[in-house]
A and B are shown apart, each in its own frame.
Chain A
Amino acid sequence: MNGFAALLTRDLRLAFRQGGDVANVVAFFALAVILFPFGVGPDPDLLARIAAGVLWVTALLAALLSLERLFDADFQDGSLEALSLMPVPLEIQVLAKCAAHWLTTGLPLTIIAPLLALVLHFDAAGYPALIAALLLGTPVLSLIGAIGAALTLGARRAGVLLSLLVLPLYIPVLIFGVAASEAAALGLESRPHLLLLAALLAGSLALAPWATAAALRQALE
């Protein structure tokens, strides 16, 4: 647990001291969402109908944007090799890195999402479900994304490759996230969707670190 906390604070400190990372992700998210009214027109009814989908798709892309740097800097300067020699299991370290990634992308996205939902005329009844769904769904994005980030370490054109690998795997999160947010906005029960999102989170919490650690080990060989 000590190793987990130490790695988490290290990554957070790095993210904040280098600065810009969190701001970039949030700025991308906001800008991409704001592009939609220009694309589909300012009709409030239409925007309200597509709001949940737009928010989720752009959140997903924003999370993807920062994934490439999850292990890459540590891989380039060799600290990943040093980390792999620590007595803390690599799986736990992966969890710490995912937690740091979520705190610097998923959480800020969740915080800013209601503001953007407001701009898109998203139905007021949908807000609690939207936030709950984002809180449950964005960690899954970090966890699944970590597998892709570890697999593409040292690859040519890793960024494009990463999106090709990870986006198909994001589809379930997108489906249940949008379903939960929309169901609540339409006055339907959003609980089943949230429970399924929670199940996805539990499943990926248990399985993704293993796959990521396996990928990291073969990258370090």
Chain B
Amino acid sequence: MNIKITGGRLYDPAQGLDGVQQDLFIKGDRIVSSLQKPDRVISAAGRVVVPGGIDLRGQVATYGLNFLRLWNGFPSLEDLGRLYAAAGYTHVHEPFLTLYTAGYVHRQLAAIPLVDTSASLVLNLRDLDNYLKSLDQLEEVAQTLKSLQEKTRSLDFRLLEPFVRYRQSFYSHRTLDTAKTLEALTRLAREFDLRFTLEASPEVLELPCPEPRAFHLAVLGRAVTDDRLLELALARLAEGVSADLGFESPIAATPLDGKPVKIDLGGYYPLDLNPAAGDLLPALRLALAHQGPGLAFSLGGPVRNPLKEFPPLFSWLCDRRARPLVDAQALPDREFSLMDWVWATRTLPAKILGLGDRGHLAPGARADVALFELPPEIPPASWAKYFGQCHTLLKAGETVIENYELVAPKTPKATYYRRRGAKEGPLLSEICQYRSIRPENLWVPEELGRAWVGLD
């Protein structure tokens, strides 16, 4: 269908469109520069027109996350898809997929309707310890990582533990500290065109980062627990590292009363799905202190309800009067503009995930467009109310939400992964030999997902 969106104020940092009143044309699933005869005209008068949202760290399908539904705090996967679409999102990226939970994660992602999905492959460096130590077979390591990425159908690499430690003292000779690990990862990135997402920690911030563009720091807000660490984080961002904020959820946690919910993914520490409630201010302070282009928006924990969790955070970013009063004076005196918001929730996440045709409204981009009712006279203090729910959402040119109603519940969706075409080497066999599942069943087959899209 050919669509003309008329009368809206376009916000697109990639093109420098800062509330420019301009028509937007869609032909099929793509944005085009002009259109002779539109089949449909959508009036966007009084509305802002932005690219579809991309959740860079939407923890929605992690192995074991399903258990949290026991405590009634989580929507079903069906509802999650609807909530994301209602919030103006078209893509969700799951952060935790491991070698043997890949099938699980993809089956969960496939059950989330409406939004496209992708996932990060969490590397367990115990699989590579001797190789990273010696540094003389890095090509083999790189090939293996690329091969694993394609076979698990993941989009990028993530490290929860940028070190190698063993619970059993017998294996202590194989440990690798964070500095040495980062050195090996830097060489891998430099020499073999790889990029790694590191879950940020004070320890990671303390170390130098010789190759900033090789790393993305996830959940940076959680690591910035004092002024010195904030300075270090800002320095990393100034060097060119990208990061996401990792806000604590602003809504009350599920009624778990501090009960442990831990999932052992085979690392040194288990994944804690019910961490003690953290402080919202470090991430907010970081977001406001950083003036550059390196910070994307994200939540640090499992996403329960984007419609309720995201808008308060957006309004705190955009209006100082909306911010939590405690320690609010200590926050930098800055407010996000709509351009900053679009950059942090759309443009930068698309860049980080390598989704070149998303996150902007330039001709050739996929027609993922969200319209929010936001008359120009509305002050930022009230934006949360307006950002909460999008008026209209188009995904690949198809209208998904219209006048706040879901009109196309069966909108096609896909899961994106990186195609690498890497060769299988002996290291891959070595990694597989420790598994209880044969390699052919370890790799994610077509049937466990839905509409795969391989990116080259």
Note whether A and B form a binding pair.
no
